Structure formats: C-alpha cells, structure tokens
Amino acid sequence: MSDVDLTEEKYEKHREAGEILAQVREETAEKVEVGASHLEVAEWAEDRIRDLGGEPAFPVNISIDEEAAHATPSADDDSTFGEEMVNLDIGVHVDGWLADTAVTVDLSGNPELKAASAEALDAAIETVEVGVTTGEIGAAVEEVIDGYGYNPVVNLTGHGLGHWDQHTEPNIPNRAVAQGVELEAGQVVAIEPFATDGGGKVKEGSEEEIFALEREASVRNRQAREALAQITEEFKTLPFAARWLDTDRATMALRRLKRQDIVHGYPVLKEDDGCLVSQKEHTVIVTEDGCEVTTRSR
C-alpha cells in the first residue's frame, strides 16, 4: 500500500470515529436528566460506541459543576444527576485513530455559561486554517467567553490527536498567547473551550478512576499481572477506567502498578474556586482553506 493510500485510510478512520462519536454524544446527552445514574449513562455510552463499530478512546467523562475533567464513575458508583451543570467528554477510536468531543448538559439553570463555551468553540473553528497560530485560536476563544462575562479555564487546552495517542502537539490554548504554533494541513486537533464563573484555573482533586500505561515491566503479583496483560492488549497507551479491568481486586492491582510507575492516574480536575465549568469540544482536520469537523452531527 502506498503512503498516499495509508494517509487516506488514516483520515477515513478519523472520520469514521467522528461519525460514531457525534451520534453517541447526541444520544448520551438525551439520557442526562435529574435522577439518572452516572454509571448507567457512562456504560450505556461506552457500549453504544462498540455497537456502532468503534471503541472508547477513553472512559466517558461525567464532570459535575466545578469538575472540569477526568471524572468517571467507579464500578460501584451510585451517584445520580441533580440540578447540576454536567459536562460529557467522550472519545472514540477506530484502529487507534481518534475523535474527541464534549458537550455541556445544563440542569443547573445557567444557560449563558453553557452558551459561552459553545459559541467560543464556533468562533475558534472559524479561525482554523493552514498558517493560523494556536495563539490566534486561543484569542478567539477568550474574546467570546470574556464577552459573556466569564473566564476561560487557562490551564486546560485543546490538543492534537495521534495514533493511539490522545494528547499530542500542538496544544491549543483557551486564551491569547504570543508564542503560538502555526497549524499545518492534515493535522488532527481537538479544540475544547472551558468557561467558568470562577477565576479560570483548575487544580487536581484527590479522586482517581482513570489511568494509562506508563511503561511495560514484569510484576510478581497475580492480579497486577492480569491487569497489566489486559491493559497492554486492549487499551495500549490510551486511558482506561478502573471499572474496565476484569481481574478481581482491581483497585489493589492498580495500586501496585502505580507504585512501580507502570501506570499513572488522572486526578479529577476541579475549578480552583469551586465554581461552575462548561465545556464544548470538536475534533477537526486542518485543511488548506479551513477545516473539516469530524464530530459534527450530520
């Protein structure tokens, strides 16, 4: 197969992942309502991805109110939705080629905060073309969110998407920066504005339910060995949920793997002032005269 054919196959898989993801995002958002189970919604979405021919690129993130990222239900989570701001962040891969998207479902009565991140994403996408810098994209995001009277979350960024790699260069800031990177044709990037009625920074919480492989190594403990075999075979370098592991005593197995620096965790990120966060995200392929949004509903 020629390099041209391989490149086209890559983009077709990115597009297929995006098409699956757009459908799952819309269907999952409809299931978010007061009283519904976090765990049931997350598992429904992950199963739906598989039903449509993809695989989850990472565990479904369900972030509530001040949570901004890396929150996913545990295996015994009995949480239900209340009158809250809910961010769904969902990823799909097809043979390791990724799509990433997010949407806010507002049950809290703050439609303007939801609109701020959504409109900021639209403005950012309008700026994308070859030669535009990531700083210019960040400026478009910041201008819209500022116009609503809110703050962008400045220590979270959009990012490139690689093969079996959820976060690659370039980082795409949510504010204007002077030293931006020029976009190139063919890059696949996820743009994800976060808006908050707080100060605009997130910090790490204490909870961890999402992990990823750091390195391969030999381990003596049986449960840790079984978990590592599943991780390397099924998830490779992509993030996974503790609840996805088939081994008994998965929590203990992960603790052992973390202690040996074989896996690392993703602490839940929370707005530093405890204020609300909204999010909207699409994946785009950069083209000479703009971009192709792979995760937009058809």
pLDDT in tens, the chain (298 residues): 334 455 889 999 999 999 999 999 999 999 999 999 999 999 999 999 999 999 999 999 999 999 999 999 999 999 999 999 999 999 999 999 999 999 999 999 999 999 999 999 999 999 999 999 999 999 999 999 999 999 999 999 999 999 999 999 999 999 999 889 999 999 999 999 999 999 999 999 999 999 999 999 999 999 999 999 999 999 999 999 999 999 889 999 999 999 999 999 999 999 999 999 999 999 999 998 899 999 998 7
pTM of the model as a whole? 0.95
Mark whether 165 and 285 lie in a shared domain: yes
Mark whether 18 and 120 lie in a shared domain: yes
Q: Can you tell me whether residue 222 is helix, strand or coil?
A: helix
Mark whether 163 and 254 lie in a shared domain: no
- pLDDT on residue 7: 83
Q: Which residue among the candidates 16, 93, 281, 282 is catalytic per the annotation?
A: 281
106 is annotated as an active-site residue? no
Q: How far is CA 183 from CA 96, 157, 159, 246, 285, in A?
A: 22, 15, 12, 41, 10
Mark whether 162 and 263 lie in a shared domain: no
Mark whether 227 and 140 lie in a shared domain: no
**Structural domain contains residue 54:** yes
Residue 247: give its domain's CATH number: 1.10.10.10
Mark whether 237 and 179 lie in a shared domain: no
In whole angstroms, what is the distance from residue 142 CA to residue 112 CA?
15
43 is annotated as an active-site residue? no
Mark whether 229 and 246 lie in a shared domain: yes
Q: Which residue among the candidates 14, 70, 93, 159 is catalytic per the annotation?
A: 159
User: Tokens at residue 30, please?
Assistant: 């409809």
**Structural domain contains residue 151:** yes
**Residue holding tokens 């490139």?**
160
The burial class, CB within 10 Å (0-12 / 13-18 / 19+), for 99 is buried
**Structural domain contains residue 197:** yes
Mark whether 23 and 142 lie in a shared domain: yes
Q: How far is CA 157 from CA 13, 41, 192, 193, 281, in A?
A: 24, 26, 7, 8, 11
Mark whether 118 and 258 lie in a shared domain: no
Buried b (16+ CB within 10 A) or exposed e, 38-52: bbebbbbbbebbeee
159 is annotated as an active-site residue? yes
**Structural domain contains residue 49:** yes
Phi, psi of 231 (to 5 degrees): -60, -50
Do 109 and 85 contact (CB within 8 A), yes or no? Answer: no
Residue 72: give its domain's CATH number: 3.90.230.10
**Structural domain contains residue 298:** no
Mark whether 21 and 106 lie in a shared domain: yes
Buried b (16+ CB within 10 A) or exposed e, 106-123: bbbebeebbbbbbbbbeb
Q: Which residue among the candidates 165, 167, 272, 292 is catalytic per the annotation?
A: 167
Q: How many domains does the chain have?
A: 2
Phi, psi of 261 (to 5 degrees): 60, 35
Mark whether 25 and 85 lie in a shared domain: yes
Q: Which residue among the candidates 65, 119, 192, 271 is catalytic per the annotation?
A: 192
Do 63 and 71 contact (CB within 8 A), yes or no? Answer: yes
192 is annotated as an active-site residue? yes
- pLDDT on residue 6: 52
163 is annotated as an active-site residue? no
- pLDDT on residue 1: 37
Mark whether 96 and 44 lie in a shared domain: yes
Count the Cβ atoms, other than its own, within 10 Å of residue 217. Answer: 10
Q: Which residue among the candidates 84, 100, 226, 271 is catalytic per the annotation?
A: 100
Sign of the CA dihedral with 244 first, then 245, 250, and 255 last = negative
142 is annotated as an active-site residue? no
- The parent domain of residue 253 ranges over 208-268
User: Tokens at residue 258, please?
Assistant: 């973390």
Q: Which residue among the candidates 55, 66, 89, 209 is catalytic per the annotation?
A: 89
